[in-house]
Every structure is written in C-alpha cells, then in structure tokens.
Structure 1
Amino acid sequence: MYKIIIVDDEKNIRDRLAHFFSWGEVGFEVVGTAENGVHALELIKQECPHAVLTDVLMPEMTGLELAAEVNTSYPETKVVILSAYDDFKYAQDAIKFGVKGYLLKPLMKSDFFNVFRKLAEELREDEAARNSNQLDSQWDIEELMLLDLIKGTNLSNYADKSNIQAQSYRVVIFSFDRLFKETSTFSIRQKVTELAMDFWNRYQIPILFYGNSLIVLITDTKLIAKKELRPKLLLFIDTLRDNLGELFINQKNFVVGIGNPSYKYQEINRSYNEAVYAYSYKYFNEYEMVIFYEDLAVDGNNENQTMLQNSMLDHVNTIEAHLINSMKNGTVTNSTDAVNHFFEPYKRVCGLPIAEIRSSCSELIIILMFRLKEKGLSLSSIDQKHVLGRIYEIDSLEELKRWLIQMLETISFDLINKDKKDFNSYVLLAKEYVKENYQERITLEDISNKLFLHQAYFSAIFKKETGQNFIDYVNKIRVEEAEKLLRNTNYKVKVISDMVGFQSHSYFNKVFKNETGVTPVVFRRQ
C-alpha cells in the first residue's frame, strides 16, 4: 500500500475523503489528515507519504503553495489538487508545480478511481525503475539494436551481428493505443510484454515496446510470405485474448500492421514505416484487426486529391439544398444518404492520408456554415470550434460518418426552429439524458457538447423552457430518486446520497431540504 495524507480546512470534508472512498482498492492507505499546508508539511516530514491530496484555498498556506514546497523539498511525493473551482489558472499553476491531478469538488467516484489508479501505476513504475537499476544486459542490447533498425540509425554498428543476419525481414506492429487509453497502462503493458517474450522467444524473434506499440521483427532464412505469417500472428492474438480476457472482446482496442518483406537489414526501417501505414488503415475499417501493407493499393497520385477537391462544392450544394428543403418542410431530414454520397469517393481513392479526409470534412462544415450565414440563417446553437475539434478526435471513418449525420440533423433542427421560441426538443433530450444518467457526474458543459450547443446558449434556452437552471433540474431529479429510496429501502442516508449522484453528504442534505422543506432523516420518519 502507498501512503497518502489528506489536506483540507473543513473537517467534514477531510473525514469524508478519508473514510468514504475505497483507498485500498486503488492501492493507497490514508496515514493522516491536516487542516492546512503548514500542518501538512509537518505530517509529510513525519510520515513520508507517497502522495498528498490537498484543497486549493486554505488559511496560512494554500494548496498550490504546499504543492510548490513539496515539489522542492520532497520531489518523490506526488501531489493531487482538489478544488471547488474549475479555473484554468489554478490548473496551469498546478502543472507548474508538478501536480499529478486536478480534481473538482464534489469528488466523483469515477474521477477518484481514474486519478488514483494512474497515480499508483506511476508509483509502481518509479519503484520498478529504482529496483531495476541493471536489467539483463543482453536484453538491453537487443532492444537498442531493434530501436536503431526500425529508425534506420547507427546501421553500421550491426554489420557483423549474426543474430540479425537473415534472408528476409518483416516488421509487425501490435498497436495498443486505444487499449491503453481505456485501462491500466502499467499492468497491461507488463502483462503483454511477458506474454510476447514467452511467445516470440521460442522463434528467436526480437521484440520491443515502443510508445503504445509492440514491435516484432520477424526474421527467416527464406521469404516470409503472408500466408505463412498470418497464422502465427493469429496464434499470438489468441494468446493475448486468452490471457487478457474482456480487454479483447472489443476488437477496436487492438490492431496489427504488417510491413512488406525486406531483404537487407538496412531496409528494416522501410518495412517498419509500411507497418505503421498499414495499422493506420484501421481508420477505414474499424472491424479489421490484421492489416498487411501489401493488401493496400497505395496510390499517392495528386490527381485523386484534385478530383476530391473539385467535388467539394458539389457536395456543399447538395447538402445545403437538402437542409433548406428540410427547413421549408418543417421536418428534420435524414442526412444518411447525403453523408454516404460525400464519403463515397474516399472508398474509391486508395492511399489518401487520413489527415486529408479530416481536412475535407472540416472544409465541408466551414463552407456549409458560411453559405447558410450568407443567407441570413445563423446557427447560433452550433459551437463551431467544438464541432471542428471533434472531427480530429474521431478515430474511424465509420464513426466520422455517423457523427456527421448527427451533426447535419442538428443543423436541420436548428434551421427549422430559427424563428420559433420553442426549443422544447433540446430540453426534452437534456431531460432524458439526466433521467438516465443522474447517478453520474453531469455538468452543463457535458450536456452542451452532446447537443452541439454553446454552453451559455443551452443554459438560456433550458431556463426559458423550464423556469429553472439546468443544475437545479439535475438536483431535483436526484432528490426525487432519493425520496423513492428513502420510502422503499433501508439504505443509510449517506449511501442513498451516493446512489443518486451526490458525492457530498452535506450538500445532499442541503439540496434535499431546499427541495422538500425537510432533511432526509425527517422525510423518512414521516
């Protein structure tokens, strides 16, 4: 267990943080609490904790001042900030002082687990680095050699190396980018490395973890054909699936790219680059797991890009007419056919960079919105910056198509309601989302992003339609659910407050009394 201390000037918050959250599940033990930064430094000197969780605004010494002092005097101690203020300046200063996390009050369990599991991983990595000052020298040399070969550097150093002298070389990349985004990086990387070493060592094939990818250099005394290599790769994938279980149920978590064979070790870098290119084609087929470069009809002809560019205005005209017609008819149009038509050329043009596709999609949105604005059809509910940013976050062509359909239907709805005061559909969607997700953290920013609306704009129309602020509505739904649990179950009040999404028991009591006129305890006795 790693030791942690909690610092907050409010005793009830210190106690709740120390006793309510499952520290043991994330690998920590609370060894003390302090009411301000000065007392915290005394406690740090006494307990030598691995981590500190501290509030920002406290008397005598603020949390940021404490973080700065810890960073200077106890550099191996990690600091996590807890604040009631979602303020960029605080976050910026926190980064400057080496803070490992910036959490918001009330602290949600999902955020707690996310931050402290990662922090425990970092501590384990630090520990492993200290305890493993000298790894197996032969393994070190092999990894450095493979790194040089895939980068194409220091090649003259390996001219006499018998362990890389072969008739054929082929680079395989197992990319775990999405997997490592969704789960515990350190433990999974360690497990994958162990499985890979055990599997590939039997063939005397070197491996290397580079970034979030496992690099495998296949060597043989003859040409390594696709039909011979593929079964071996699938067997390794089965090994990973058997040992990592649920992580491999979703195939989108994982992709393999294979470069073409090279016949000189000096050309291994070329095979590596081809493998990188191959696994990037996951973007075009989100269900394909193993992609060989030789199966891709790579065509860098600039005429293809010119052809797509020339067709852009045709697509804009078609979609614009589609949306204007929708506005005249007063019905939200289904945009599936228009989007499929827009993306159809990309299926015929092979070798087009993913960046070019994203750029074209951005261009479509920008020109379309400009055209509509020229006609006096302003889309005040659309946050253009958010929309364009989302295009570059999406990591598959099919998902981009689904998103663009949703985007165009949102614009269609906006145009239909441009002269109307009733934005009830937006409000209904928001209410439905709250009813389904009231147990989770829900913010104004989250719901605005889901509806493609400016945050201030959504807040205004929600209040206009309902007569109350969005967060007040969220609390109202949570209180209604709490009332049901208080009437029909024997759960403790603290448990109920957590079940309905309140992470602060005192805040739950306050909101409940504001809504019902009595405290939860009195309500249950009635």
Structure 2
Amino acid sequence: MYKVIIVDDEKNIRDRLAHFFPWSDVGFEVVGIAENGVEALELIKQERPHAVLTDVLMPEMTGLELAKEIQTSYEDIKVVILSAYDDFKYAQDAIRFGVKGYLLKPLMKNDFFNVFTKLAEELKEDEKGKEGNSVEELMLLDLIKGDNLPQYADYWNQQTQSFRVAIFSFDRLFKEESTFSTRQKITELAADFWNRYQVPFLFYGNSLIVLSTDSKLVSKKDHLPKIHLFIDLLIANLGDFFKDQENFVVGVGNPASTYKEICRSYNEAVYAYSYKYFNEYETIIFYEDLTVKGNSGNQTELQNFMLDHVNKIESHLMESMKSEGKMAFGELVNHFFDPHKGIGGLPIAEIRSSCSELIIILMFRFKEKGLSFPSIDQQHVLGRIYGIDSLKELKRWLTQMLETVSFDLIHQDKKDVNSYVLMSKEYVKENYQERITLEDISNRLFLHQAYFSAIFKKETGQNFIDYVNHVRVEKAVQLLRNSDYKIKVVSDMVGFQSHSYFNKVFKNETGVTPVVFRRQ
C-alpha cells in the first residue's frame, strides 16, 4: 500500500476524505491528516508519504505554497490538488509545482478512482525504475516511443521478420471502476495468456500494449483469433466489468518489418483506437481497414460550409427568440457534421476545432447584437468539447448547447437568470413522478454535478433535491385536497420512493403530516 496524507482546514472535509473513500481499493492508506500546509510539512517529515491530497485555500500556508515546498524538498512525493469550483483557477498555477491532478469539491468517487489509480500506477512505474524494471518492459517502452533503438539491435534474431502492436484501452472501464485490484487482475490475466505466445506486453496508462512478433507476416487473419480469445478470457474472469464488450476498445497497427518500425505500428494502433470516436459500436479496429486521407481537402470549401451553417443556426436561434418557442436543432447539428462523415473526413482534433469555432462565432455575433447568455461560460463550454470522447456524444452535447442558447434568448427579460436552472425546474415540473437525482439532471444538462449544484443553490437559495421535494409536496397537496387516493398511493404518484420519507418531507414543508392535512 502507498501512503497518503490529507490536508484541509475544514475538519468535516478531512474526516470525510479519510474515512468515506475506499483508499485500499486504489492501493493507498491514509497515514495522517493536517489542517494547513505548515502542519502538513511536519507530518511529511514523520511519515514520508508517497502522495499528498491538499486543499488550495488554507490559512498559514496555502496548498500551492505546500506543493512548491514539496517539489523543492521531496521531489518523489506526488501532490493532488482539491479545490472548490470558485477557486479552481488558482489550482492551474500549481502545474509549475509538479501537481499530478486536480479534484473538484465535493469530491466524487469516480473522480477519486480515476486520479488515484493512475497515481498508484505511476508510483509503481517509479518503483520499477528504481529497482530495475524488467528488461522486456523497458525495451517495449523504448520501442513504442522510438527511443534508444541502437541498444536493441542485437536482441532480435534473424528469424524475426514481422512485428505488430495492439492496444487494449480500458479508459471507459477505469472511468467507472478504476480500482487497483482490477488493474492487477488484468495484468495477471495478460501475463497468463500472452506469455504462452512469448509475446511481450506492458500496462501503460490505462492501456495494455501487446507486441506480437513472428518469423512471417503477423496478418490480421492470424492475429484476430488471439485477440478474441484474450477478450473472452477477460469477460470470463471479470464478467460485470466487461459485459457487452463496451468497457474497452482494441486498436491494432499495421505490421512492421523491422524493430525500428514498431513505433510506427504503435502510432497506427493509437490512431485505430481513436476511430472509436466515430463508431462507438466497434470494439476491435485494425488500422489497415481504415481509409486514412490526408488533410488535403478544400479548406476554403469547408470554411464556406462552416459560415453557411453558422448563418442557418443563427437564423434558427433568432426565430426561437421571436416565437418564444422550443426549436429542433438535431437536424442542423447532424448536417453540420456532414463533411466529417467517415474516418477520412477530418482528424478528431479538427472536428473539435470546428465545433469550438461554431460556438465562438455564434457568441460573438450575438454579443454584437447586445444579447447576453447567463448560462454560457465560454471557457467551460470549450473545455467540454475536448472532454467528449465520441462523435455521437458531441452531437448530443452541441444540440443541448444550442437549446440552452435558445432558452437564454427566449428569456432575455430575465438576463440574470441561468437557463440551466430554468431548464432543470421545467424538467422537474414535467417529470416529478419519475426518479430524479442530482446526477441524472447534471448528466442531462452535460454539467459537472458540483457545478450544477452550486449554480442552482446560488440562483434559488435551496438545494436541487429540496426543490424536487417542494414540487412533489405541492402536487401531493393538490391530490390530497381533490381526490380520495390513499396517502401511500399519493406518495407513489408524486415520485417518492419511500412512504416514511414522504411523511417526513411533507411535514417539513407544510408543518403537518399528510393524515392531519387531509382532515383539516
């Protein structure tokens, strides 16, 4: 287990971080807590932890000052910043002090798993480097990067005529179940399977890199059955994690005729994996099956298409403002991505760039018209574009974004009202009978839970779930006054999962229980 200390000036947060999160699942144990940077430095001297999780804004010594001191005096210790949304911008400065990750308050388990599993893997790699990593793993790391190639010239005998790199990426799995034990299990299964074929492999980041070698061409026909067998092995041993084969993707590069070309095969495997962006239903993607086009398309034609589409979307948005009605943006968004259809359309980076450009031009044009968008934080929007990992999801997000802009335009008389709050309120009023959680509504609006929770509280003065309960109680009051339904039935009809919880919330809202209310 790796040692970690927690630093935060709020006792309840320190205690929650220390006891609520499953540190052992990601390979760590909490060996101490401190309430400021000065106290943390004393604790570091005593415990010599592998990692420090620290708040940014603290008295006596801030988290950034602590990170700087650690970088100077304890360069092996990894630092992770924990920050509230409002002061998150300060944490960006910490990159100069070697910070390994940023986590947002309130800390969510998925974010916790993602950062600390990667950190444990990095610490493991550091240890291997100090202890003398296996020659095979160090060699494979050099070969895929194209580093130190001359020193491996004698390693491969004359019979080796072909090499081929495959990448098994578990990014999606580790976003949800990023546990140290799961990663270890995958490594053990890989060793058991690929060692039979004398095939070297390496766990690198969230991916398993496999280098197949043979005296003859490593063809797709020969390679594909082994990949399927390994996938079957993962599913058989880690069932729930790999159901429907949706939690991982395999990218396979073209064969390389010499060890010097392994780097090229690796880059092709990365490119093949990235095609998942365009087709989320494909699991195993061979580079040789992709029609890879250069960037020689008519840029002027694409730019004209972009501007033409901006004009159409702007017109559509203005129409929504005049009619004060909801407009459909799905078809416009689909048409906007027409030039990018197929793998050869444009690289992913350019697709994201086109989407960013669309948003920027629209915002600029509406700003010129004196129109405001209280719901749109441009930096947040542009950052979101680069965090989406599929074209389908990008289309969904852009459609939602245009609907949000439309909502702001319709409610220009409420310039200071955030339309995310208005949209969430509308959703609750229309769907109060259904299960509604903070996570559900945040995902629906493509917002981080903590961010949505903060803006809702700021706009309304109450927590989102309290608002949901308030709406449900209002509906329950109407039913109790105007129907003969049993109280338990009323509770179910307005969306409460628990009858006792309904009684409690109803009394908090009205001052009396449902039974007493009905008798009045």
Deviations 1:281-309 (A, max 9, x none): 11111221111111111121523444322
227-236 vs 16-25, greater mean Cα deviation:
16-25
How far apart, CA to CA, are the structure 2 residues paired with 1:442 and 1:369? Answer: 28
Query: 285, 295, 298: which is aligned to 2:279?
Result: 285
Aligned to 2:483: none
Deviations 1:29-72 (A, max 9, x none): 7777788888888877777777778888889x667599579948
1:399 aligns with 2:388: no
Aligned to 2:296: 302
How far apart, CA to CA, are the structure 2 residues paired with 1:10 and 1:26? Answer: 24
Query: 316, 322, 326: which is aligned to 2:316?
Result: 322
Aligned to 1:520: none
**Could you tell me how far 1:350 is from its partner in structure 2?**
1.2
Aligned to 1:522: none
* SS of aligned partner of 1:302: coil
**Could you tell me how far 1:191 is from its partner in structure 2?**
2.6
C-alpha distance 62-356 of structure 1, shift in aligned 2 (>3 A)? closer
Aligned to 1:390: 384
How far apart, CA to CA, are the structure 2 residues paired with 1:13 and 1:423? Answer: 31
1:270 aligns with 2:264: yes
How far apart, CA to CA, are the structure 2 residues paired with 1:398 and 1:271? Answer: 28
Aligned to 1:503: none
Aligned to 1:418: 412
Q: Which amino acid counterpart does residue 286 of structure 2 have in structure 1? A: F
Aligned to 1:507: none
Aligned to 2:328: 334
Deviations 1:116-160 (A, max 9, x none): 89658856975896599645x8xx333333334333444444444
Deviations 1:334-376 (A, max 9, x none): 1111111111221157152111111111222222333334444
Q: Which amino acid counterpart does residue 379 of structure 1 have in structure 2? A: F
How far apart, CA to CA, are the structure 1 residues paired with 2:26 and 2:145? Answer: 38
228-237 vs 432-441, greater mean Cα deviation:
432-441
C-alpha distance 379-279 of structure 1, shift in aligned 2 (>3 A)? same
C-alpha distance 475-28 of structure 1, shift in aligned 2 (>3 A)? farther
Q: Which amino acid counterpart does residue 308 of structure 1 have in structure 2? A: L
Two-structure CA RMSD over aligned residues (Å): 5.4
Aligned to 2:305: 311
201-210 vs 426-435, greater mean Cα deviation:
426-435
* SS of aligned partner of 1:303: coil
1:177 aligns with 2:171: yes
* SS of aligned partner of 1:291: strand
**Could you tell me how far 1:246 is from its partner in structure 2?**
2.4
How far apart, CA to CA, are the structure 2 residues paired with 1:480 and 1:81? Answer: 38
Q: Any residues of structure 2 matched to 1:211-250 within 5 Å, and which? A: 211-249=205-243
How far apart, CA to CA, are the structure 2 residues paired with 1:227 and 1:479? Answer: 62
421-430 vs 264-273, greater mean Cα deviation:
421-430
Aligned to 2:518: none
Query: 389, 394, 403: which is aligned to 1:409?
Result: 403
Q: Which amino acid counterpart does residue 306 of structure 2 have in structure 1? A: M
Q: Which amino acid counterpart does residue 197 of structure 1 have in structure 2? A: A
How far apart, CA to CA, are the structure 2 residues paired with 1:132 and 1:270? Answer: 25
How far apart, CA to CA, are the structure 1 residues paired with 2:367 and 2:54? Answer: 48
* SS of aligned partner of 1:285: coil
322-331 vs 232-241, greater mean Cα deviation:
322-331
How far apart, CA to CA, are the structure 1 residues paired with 2:448 and 2:126? Answer: 42
**Could you tell me how far 1:316 is from its partner in structure 2?**
1.6
CA contact (8 A) 1:300 1:351 kept: no
182-191 vs 236-245, greater mean Cα deviation:
182-191
CA contact (8 A) 1:8 1:58 kept: yes
* SS of aligned partner of 2:250: strand
Aligned to 2:140: 146
Aligned to 2:505: none
Q: Any residues of structure 2 matched to 1:358-377 within 5 Å, and which? A: 358-377=352-371
How far apart, CA to CA, are the structure 2 residues paired with 1:450 and 1:18? Answer: 23
Give the unaligned 5+ runs of structure 1. Answer: 464-468, 482-487, 489-499, 501-513, 518-526
Deviations 1:217-254 (A, max 9, x none): 22223333323322221111121222232222364532
How far apart, CA to CA, are the structure 2 residues paired with 1:289 and 1:273? Answer: 18
How far apart, CA to CA, are the structure 2 residues paired with 1:197 and 1:73? Answer: 38
* SS of aligned partner of 1:298: coil
> How many residues were matched structurally?
480
Aligned to 1:508: none
C-alpha distance 223-304 of structure 1, shift in aligned 2 (>3 A)? farther
CA contact (8 A) 2:165 2:253 kept: yes
How far apart, CA to CA, are the structure 1 residues paired with 2:414 and 2:38? Answer: 58
* SS of aligned partner of 1:393: coil
C-alpha distance 401-26 of structure 1, shift in aligned 2 (>3 A)? closer
* SS of aligned partner of 2:297: helix
How far apart, CA to CA, are the structure 2 residues paired with 1:169 and 1:344? Answer: 37
Q: Which amino acid counterpart does residue 430 of structure 1 have in structure 2? A: S
How far apart, CA to CA, are the structure 1 residues paired with 2:268 and 2:245? Answer: 22
Deviations 1:431-474 (A, max 9, x none): 46798999869999x989479x99999777x34xxxxx245x66
How far apart, CA to CA, are the structure 2 residues paired with 1:215 and 1:426? Answer: 42
1:346 aligns with 2:340: yes
**TM-score scaled by structure 1?**
0.69
Give the unaligned 5+ runs of structure 2. Answer: 473-487, 489-500, 502-507, 512-520
**TM-score scaled by structure 2?**
0.70
How far apart, CA to CA, are the structure 1 residues paired with 2:254 and 2:422? Answer: 54
**Could you tell me how far 1:412 is from its partner in structure 2?**
2.0
